[in-house]
Amino acid sequence: MNTQPAPMGSPAATLPSIVLSEGASAATSPATSPAIARTEAEAATTPPATSPAIALPEAEIVTSTVSEPADAWSQPVAASKKERMKRFGDAIDAIRTRAEAKVGPEDVAHVKRVNAFSRAMEVIGRVLIHVSFEPIGFLAGVGALWLHKQLQATEVGHTALHGAYDKLAGAEGFSSKTFSWDIPIDEEAWRHGHNVRHHQYTNVAGKDPDIHFGPARLTEHTPRKPLHRWQLPFMLGVLAPNFTFLMNLHFTGLNDLYFGNGREEQFDVLPDRSWKSVKEAHRKALRKYVPYYLKNYGLFPLLAGPMFWKVLLGNWMAETMRDVYSAATIYCGHVGEDVAAYPEGSRAHGRGEWYAMQVEATNNFEVSLPVSMLCGGLDRQIEHHLFPRLPPNRLREIAPEVRAACQAHGVAYRTASWGHTLKKALRHVRDLGVRDFARAAA
């Protein structure tokens, strides 16, 4: 894919190609077409963000009387819809411009404070796990170490790797190209698979690698097979407690190599089965796995001498807590019977439609600020997908504006409690495992 850098302040700098089908060409009018392609840093997103708690019923979908079926984006655009989408794009661009103008020292100070707190929790947690002789001190250590791991994965790491702090004075340590997060997922592989592929082509079959994972089928556009009957137990009992380990298999291409993706093309990440591709996939996976697990399951337990088993147990518990919490966050993002999933060849016909596709393929959920920070701001998943490089506090600020713009232009904005959203996602996963799913046309 060719890249065409664009300045941070312009919509082109943060929007992917509006053409979402293989071989299709993007519209060329600058008034309606975002940049055709971006570098990884430009495609990057911003994590830890939370928006002010909004009092909502158990489940609320903000929409108007205007509605289209999930595959409407692959159909010719009616004049009235085209005008409505243009106005929607203008409204979202205006929100972007105001938010980006505020990004600066306050955001750098925020990530530095969170990172310092995280590092302090790591020291406290590891010391307590090592020296405790009773359950309370041991569990306090596990909890502190989990806080560190969770914040590094989400509020700090996810945000930094999306490029939120690139080119900000004083934030050089959080540059998307050089930042190393304290989880076992290769940064380079993640930036390409997540920032470039998933964020540009959210829930588009044949483009978004995250609509399936091994035996997990997350939209109806991955063909159903007998093994999918067991996908809900797999996601709860295998994927969730080993989330980061298995995500590294996914992003580096080893999952493609050994298990396929459930579709005819087989590969989401690997270009082919050549020795060069296979060797590169293993190199990326192992360069993260080896030092990470040697540190957590080798070095620190050995430092405890005869109590190595206690440190090993504590590290495993903190690791598993982070994985389960992260999985419960991620599962909510783009899964549900009422969440748009686009067939292969779907494309947006302008900036406004691309924005609308992102919103309607995404769920928000409502939590308190501390919980949101531990989710990395992904309770504001809609805003995150519209403005991938905005820092967390900016996503919190703009959520009410985005919601209002969606309501005014007939774009479904879904938000509910975390429990309701997770239940909805898991119910859909269960249903996709046992039957083919057909969406009713509006």
SS3 52: coil
- For residues 176 and 183, give the distance between their C-alpha atoms in angstroms, rounded to a whole number: 15
Does residue 282 contact residue 257 with C-beta atoms inside 8 Å?
no
Q: What is the pLDDT of residue 3?
A: 39
Which DSSP state fits 439? P
pLDDT (tens place) for every residue of the chain, 442 residues total? 343 334 344 443 444 434 433 333 333 333 333 333 344 444 443 333 333 333 333 344 444 333 444 444 444 455 588 999 999 999 999 999 999 999 999 999 999 999 999 999 999 999 999 999 899 999 999 999 999 999 999 999 999 999 999 999 999 999 999 999 999 999 999 999 999 999 999 999 989 999 988 789 999 998 899 999 999 999 999 999 999 999 999 999 999 888 877 777 678 888 888 999 999 999 999 999 999 999 999 999 999 999 999 999 999 999 999 999 999 999 999 999 999 999 999 999 999 999 999 999 999 999 999 999 999 999 999 999 999 999 888 998 999 999 999 999 999 999 999 999 999 999 999 999 998 876 654 4
- For residues 184 and 311, give the distance between their C-alpha atoms in angstroms, rounded to a whole number: 19
- For residues 440 and 442, give the distance between their C-alpha atoms in angstroms, rounded to a whole number: 6
Q: What is the pLDDT of residue 308?
A: 96
Give the global pTM: 0.83
- For residues 280 and 277, give the distance between their C-alpha atoms in angstroms, rounded to a whole number: 5
- For residues 434 and 288, give the distance between their C-alpha atoms in angstroms, rounded to a whole number: 36
Q: Is 318 exposed, middle or buried (0-12, 13-18, 19+ CB in 10 A)?
A: buried
Q: What is the pLDDT of residue 78?
A: 55
Q: What is the pLDDT of residue 323?
A: 98
Q: What are phi and psi of 413, to 5 degrees?
A: -115, 110
- For residues 164 and 168, give the distance between their C-alpha atoms in angstroms, rounded to a whole number: 9
Residue boundaries of the structural domains of the chain: 111-195+247-330
Which of 333, 343, 427 lies closest to 381 in space, CA to CA?
Answer: 333
Q: What is the pLDDT of residue 213?
A: 83
Angle in degrees, CA 321, 326, 329, rounded to 5: 130
- For residues 296 and 241, give the distance between their C-alpha atoms in angstroms, rounded to a whole number: 16
Residue 216: enclosing H or E segment and its boundaries? strand 216-217
Tokens 């501390």 found at: 370
SS3 364: strand
Bridging pattern class, strands 363-366 and 413-417 = parallel
- For residues 429 and 434, give the distance between their C-alpha atoms in angstroms, rounded to a whole number: 9
Tokens 């859909």 found at: 428
